[in-house]
Amino acid sequence: MNEKNFRDLISGKTPGLGPTLARGGLRLLSPFYSCGVRLRNAGFHFGLHTIHRAPVPVVSIGNLTTGGTGKTPFAAFLAHWFRDHDRQVCFLSRGYRAESGQVNDEARVLEQLCPDVPHLQNPNRVASAQTAVTQFNAELLILDDGFQHRRLHRDLDIVLIDAVNPWGYGYLLPRGLLREPRTGLRRADVVVITRVDQVDEDRLAAIRQQISQYTPVEPVEVSFPPMRLINAAGQTAEINSLHGLPLAVFCGIGNPTAFQAAIETLGLTIAAFREFPDHHPYGNDDVTQLKRWAADANASAALVTQKDLVKLDMTDLDGVPLWALEIGCKINRGEETLSAALNRLIQSSTASDSAEA
């Protein structure tokens, strides 16, 4: 079963007796997963597992669910914020689904968005933290997808919640997409609701109310507005240049529905849409099929995410121009809350420097 079919199954989109029985079976497994998560968290809470402190402040960006919540554009936003405040930062990540000896797609996108910020990928993020400080003179560390990685102490825990699917269909893995119960939000210092422009105000109000059950901190709300088009050669173009043209749109990300919705919001015409699994490694067969698919759709251009573009590394599909949608990060609400939390880290970093001096 591929990733799309699995999401359709657990979301309830797939009808019939068989899928209903399958959902029931998966629901029986979720308590066992929950038990494992709770025992692990209890181990850290009661000191049974060692938590290592880095020499400099650490800010973690994570989420309660699997799949895309917008961590990459938000991580880029944070890195730029810290660089604008004259702090030397470094990204730390596990390197999920990276090919042997190479960095993964998220690291390649962050390299484009933040070329002056080093990025260390290593399952041992405690070791990476030491390397970041000793070899790259990092003053602040941004731990990507770090909410469940508790071996490394963090000075600021930021949790992202996707407004489109905030609670992963309401169940823990494998019945849903929740990595841990919602009560995990109690560990968060800042909660960020992402893609708030893709839901109505009533839906947002409901999510705020649900979050308030676990933390008294007002959530920050952000959107990821498309900024421009970019291709593998680094050339850019205005998004308006695609208006009125039939587009072949495809992606291999954690939240393909959000990408499709963003394109439709721009008023662009999707002639054909295709999903691949998250972090899909495009091979020669894929490229051959995509060229034929784009031609069959009579597409004037193909449109992907930056995560897809860095893996495809081509400017066209047999003459059909291939563009990626470059997105930014906009704070819609709670800017004061976020700035206050980040400024505390800046002060902490400055205090560390003074102590060393």
Sorted by sequence, the CB contacts under 8 Å of residue 189 that are 6+ apart come out as 156, 157, 158, 217, 341
72 marked as binding residue:
yes
Burial-class residue 103 by CB neighbours within 10 Å (0-12, 13-18, 19+).
middle
Q: Where in the chain are the domains?
A: 3-45, 58-223+330-356, 226-327
Calpha distance 323→291 (Å, rounded): 14
311 marked as binding residue:
no
215 marked as binding residue:
no
Amino acid at 244: G
58-223+330-356 shares its CATH topology with 226-327: yes
pLDDT in single tens digits along all 357 residues of the chain: 778 889 999 999 999 999 999 999 999 999 999 999 999 999 999 999 999 999 999 999 999 999 889 999 999 999 999 999 999 999 999 987 666 566 788 899 999 999 999 999 999 999 999 999 999 999 999 999 999 999 999 999 999 999 999 999 999 999 999 999 999 999 999 999 999 999 999 999 999 999 999 999 999 999 999 999 999 999 999 999 999 999 999 999 988 988 999 999 999 999 999 999 988 999 999 999 999 999 999 999 999 999 999 999 999 999 999 999 999 999 999 999 999 999 999 987 766 565 565
131 marked as binding residue:
no
pLDDT of residue 352: 59
65 marked as binding residue:
yes
Q: Is the pTM of this model over 0.75?
A: yes
CB 329 within 8 A of CB 73: yes
70 marked as binding residue:
yes
Calpha distance 219→217 (Å, rounded): 6
CATH of domain 58-223+330-356: 3.40.50.300
52 Cα distance to chain centroid? 25
Calpha distance 347→351 (Å, rounded): 6
- Looking at 85-223, list the stretches that DSSP marks H as alpha helix, in order from N- to C-terminal side: 105-113, 125-136, 201-212
CA 199, 205, 210, 213 torsion-angle sign: positive
Calpha distance 145→161 (Å, rounded): 13
Q: Which long-range contacts (CB under 8 A, 24 or more apart) does 104-112 make?
A: 104/279, 105/279, 105/307, 105/308, 105/310, 105/311, 106/71, 106/72, 106/144, 106/307, 108/307, 108/310, 108/311, 109/72, 109/306, 109/307, 109/310, 110/72, 110/75, 110/76, 110/79, 112/306, 112/310
The answer regarding whether domain 226-327 maps to CATH 3.40.30 reads no
